[in-house]
Chains A and B, each alone.
Chain A
Amino acid sequence: MVEQAAVATGRRQRSRPLRVLIAKPGLDGHDRGAKVLARALRDAGMEVIYTGLFQTPERIARAAADEDVDVVGLSILSGAHNQLFPQIMQELRRAGLDDVLVVAGGIIPKEDIPHLQALGIAAVFGPGTPLHEIVAFIREHAPDRERGS
C-alpha cells in the first residue's frame, strides 16, 4: 500500500527501469536488511542486482561497472564503513562510475554521516527508515541518463 503511494507521487518518467546494485561490503554476515530493500526496490519496478555477502570494494566496483547500474546501495552493519566506504568510492571512480548514485544503509552513527556525504554518498539511511522513503529518494536522485551517453 505504502509502495503504491510512492509510485504515484515520486515518479519521474523514465523509458527503462532503474538498475540498482545492492552490495554487502565487509565481514558481517547479516543480509536480511539488504534483501528486504532489494525486494522493496523490485516491487517498485527496479532491476536489482544483489551481490551477496562479503564483497570487496574492487568486486563491488567491477559488478557496478559491468552491470552498468544507475544506483549502488551499500548495506553495512559491521561498523567498518569509515574504512570501507572511502575505498569503495575510490574504486567506483577508478572504474569510471562518476555518475552513479551511491546510497548507504545499516548501522551508521550520526556523527559519521557528514564525512560519508563528503565522500559522495548521497544519503545514509538508518535502520528505521521506511522503505518507501528510500524508494522515493532513489527515484528522485538517480542520474537521468536518457540524455547523456
Chain B
Amino acid sequence: MSDLLARVRAGDRRALARLLTHVENRTPLGLAAEREFFRQTGRAHLVGITGPPGAGKSTLIAALAREARRLGLTIAVLAVDPTSPITGGAVMGDRIRMLDIASDDGVFVRSLTSRGRCGGLAPSLCAMAHLLDAFGFDLIVLETVGAGQDDVEIARLADTTVLVLVPGLGDHVQALKAGTLEIADIFVVNKADLPEAARVVGDLRSLQRLAGAASPHIPIHATVATTGDGVASLLQGILDHRTQLDATGQRLERLQRRLLSEVRFLALEALEERLDSALAALPENERAALVTRQVDPRTLAERLLKGLRLNLPLGSH
C-alpha cells in the first residue's frame, strides 16, 4: 500500500494515476497521501479555466499545453465534467482535443466528474491538484464549466483564473451573473474568428470602464483555440500574472485565502455529512413532535448541532 506512495515519490506516473484515484475517493491511503505530500506542494502554478459550455475551454487548454511544452513547461490538466444528476454517470470527451500531445510525458490529463458529492467537488479537486503539484508539474490547469456557484468557488482555488467568453451567446456579457466577472484575472474572448467576437471584446471594455478606475484592470485576450492564434500571448499573460502576484506580495495573501477556503470546504463537508447522518438517525417521536408542533424546527436544529461529535477525523467515507 504505502509502496504506492514510495513509487509516486520516485516519479512513477502510473502510481501517480492510481494514487489520484485514492485521493479522489478519499480512501485511507488517499487521505494519508494528502497529508504526506502537502509539504512538497506550492511550486506549481494553478490556473483555473472556466466559462460557459462549449466556449472552447478544452480546445484552448490543448493549445495552451502545446505552447507550454514549447517553453519546456510540464502541464497537468484536471478536467471536470458535469455528472448526470439521474444516474451519477458521465461521458467525458476532453481527450479528443489532445491528440498530438497525448503521448508526451510532460502532459498529464485527468477527467473527473462533479459526482454530486456533498460539500461539492472542491475538496477532491484541491487534493488532486496538490498531488500533481507535489509530483512536479509546472502548470496545473483546472477546467470547469462556469455555470453554478460551485464553479465560481472552484475558480477561486487557482493562482490565476481565466474566464473564457465567446461570441454568439446573445447579451451574454451583460447577463453574466454578478460575481462571475469578478473572479477573472484574465478574460479570454475565444472563437475570435467569428464575426461577433469584436463586440464581445468591446462589451468587456465598456464594462470595465463602468466599473471605474478603482477596480483592477483585467487583460483581455482574443484567441482562436482551434488554430492556436493568440494562445502564445495568453500563456505569457498567465505566466506574467503570477510574476505580478509575486512582485506585489499578493501571492502569499491569495495562497493563504485559498488554503483557508480549502480548510473551510473540508470542515463544511464533514459537518454536512454528520448532520445528514444525525438527521437520518432522528428517532420517530422527535420527527412526530415537529409535525404535532411540540417542537419547533430551530430548537430541533440547535439540539442536533449540540449532539454532533465534531472532533472525529475528516473524510470517513
Binding site for B on A (CB under 8 A): 15-17, 38-39, 41-52, 54, 56, 58-59, 62-63, 65-68, 95-97, 149
Contact = CB atoms under 8 A, between A and B. Distances in A.
Interface residues of B, number: 32
A59 B104 CA distance: 10
Contacts of A63: 95, 102, 109
Q: Which of A41, A62, A63 has the most CB of B within 10 A?
A: A62
Nearest to B97: A52
B21 A50 contact: no
Contacts of B115: 17
B25 interface: yes
Nearest to A16: B25
Contacts of A68: 17-18, 20-21
A68 B84 CA distance: 21
B87 A43 contact: yes
B287 interface: no
Given A43-B89, A45-B87, A52-B93, A67 B17 contact: yes
B1 interface: yes
Given A59-B102, A66-B17, A44 B96 contact: no
B88 interface: yes
A51 to B, nearest CB: 5
- Which 6 A-B pairs rank lowest in CB-CB distance, beginning with the nearest? A52-B96, A42-B89, A96-B14, A59-B102, A68-B17, A45-B87
Given A65-B14, A149-B4, A50 B93 contact: yes
Contact of B91 (A50, A96, A97): A50
A15 B25 contact: yes
B279 interface: no
A32 to B, nearest CB: 14
Nearest to A52: B96
A51 B111 CA distance: 11
